[in-house]
A = this chain, B = another copy of it.
Amino acid sequence: MGNFRRVPVGIVGASGYGGVQLVRLLMEHPEVELVYLGEENSTGKAFTSVYPHLTNMVKLPLEAIDPEVIARRCEVIFLALPNGLACQLTPALIEKGCKVLDLSADYRFKNLATYTSWYGNDRSDHHTANNAVYGLPELYRDRIADAQLVGCPGAYPTASLLALLPLFKQGLIVPETAIIDAKSGASSAGREAKTHLLLAEADNSLSAYSVARHRHTPEIEQICSELAGHEVTVQFTPHLVPMVRGMLATVYATLRDPGLVGDDLTTIYKAFYRNSPWVKICETGIYPQTKWASGSNVCYISIEVDPRTGRVIVMSVIDNLIKGHAGQAIQCLNIMMGWDETLGLPKLGFYP
């Protein structure tokens, strides 16, 4: 391949589930080279002390988080940190010329007051935040292409918005009727030891949580509002499901035109996502299961209309750690770098 040069990339916050997915996907990506792994508290240890199965496969150590060092070694940096940390690190990285893909909530909001009211932290990086683009390629492909800083959506907003975008964009529903009943596997909650996430507690069980106050709500509303042209409030309820990976959003909304049938909407969705290689619209009557998406960057969507109630029901499934997290960030990277949007990302899930 001649004098081919791989783009040097790094990950800050490499030891969580998002981190280990990024490591795997970036190592298999044909255009990048993973050169840096940062982690605050594990500094000096090998990455493989956290994930021993990758011994001799991932040879990078976990290093201290120093913007100077990062910017010198990485052209692109992924931030997989808890909310409130990326915004402390990003301004320096941006100033030094890095491309930054932040997987936390810090750069998802146009209006930092919204961020502060839901996340509690005050913010002083208004200029940086102002230039951030919301990393949902199916909606903002062009903006992402020109961005230096991308705030990647959470898994819930990704599944929810991909189900809702055509409805809001085309004005097909009564906005305030939108209800998202979302279900996620336990890996979305991360790798920190918590009692309610123990297998003995969470297996063979199911519950809702953060009802009417989950922090992903304003992120969904921000995009819906932009598409609707006015402030939209949605109902969002997350559930913890006894499985490792996978996410399903079941979305309900009242159709403006009660004469539409499922096939009409399937056609509209197929047209809307015609140029989106990672969204697959199912034939009417075929409902996706989360296992279909596991291991791939694909979002499967199925649309049903209930003529009895005049509602559309949209089901959207993703792998919460890939299209809902690491894969989507890499999809954004591909776009930022002018590469094919599908480069280095898994197309076929690892069924079963």
Contacts and interface: CB of A to CB of B under 8 A. Distances in A.
Contact of A181 (B207, B250, B288): B250
A205 interface: yes
A200 B186 contact: yes
A311 B179 CA distance: 10
Interface in A219-254: 233-235, 237, 239, 241-246, 248, 250, 252
Contact of A200 (B179, B191, B293): B191
Taken together, the copies of this chain in the complex come to 4
A339 interface: no
Contacts of A203: 186, 199, 203-204, 242-244
A109 to B, nearest CB: 17
A201 B289 CA distance: 10
A14 interface: no
Contact of A244 (B204, B211, B248, B304): B204
Nearest to A262: B212
Interface residues of A, number: 87
Contacts of A179: 179, 252, 311
Interface stretch (A51-59, A94-102, A122-130): A51-59
Given A315-B208, A315-B211, A191 B185 contact: no
A126 to B, nearest CB: 26
Counting chain B CB atoms within 10 Å of each CB, which of A241, A245, A308, A311 scores highest? A241
